[in-house]
Amino acid sequence: MSTYVLAKTLPCLLEKCGFMGYQLWRSTWRLLCAVDLLASGRRVTEIASELDFASDSAFTTYFQQITGQTPRSHIQQMK
């Protein structure tokens, strides 16, 4: 028999056990993936699409709100 955990149940269980909430976990995961993809030379357009942002500008705004710099600025700083 398989065990199924509903998408709404897992975040609640994680929070009750002292783990970060789903939204924080997802945001953190997206940022770490974005930084990794930027470092690998991927284009902002590709990253935005792969991480399921509605547009390049939505990704850029998200990235800038969290890091204080645009993805392009981050790339330049890494060089």
Residue 3 falls within a domain, yes or no? no
Return the pLDDT at 7: 55
Among the listed residues 59, 41, 43, the one whose alpha carbon sits nearest the alpha carbon of residue 51: 59
Domains identified in the chain, total number: 1
CATH number at residue 32: 1.10.10.60
Q: What is the pLDDT of residues 32-45, one digit of tens each?
A: 999 999 999 999 99
Tell me whether residue 28 is in a domain.
yes
Mean pLDDT along residues 47-55 = 95
Answer yes or no: is 5 within a domain: no
Tell me the residue range of the domain where 43 lies. Answer: 20-78
pTM for this structure? 0.73
Q: For residue 46, is it within any domain?
A: yes
The torsion angle over the Cα atoms of residues 20, 21, 23 and 25, rounded to 10 degrees, is: 30
> ∠ CA 27-47-8 to the nearest 5 degrees?
35
Is 12 within a domain? no
**10-29 residue pLDDT tens:** 566 666 666 667 788 788 88
Window from 2-6, 43-47, 63-67, 75-79 with minimum mean pLDDT: 2-6
Whole-number Å distance between alpha carbons of 77 and 67: 12
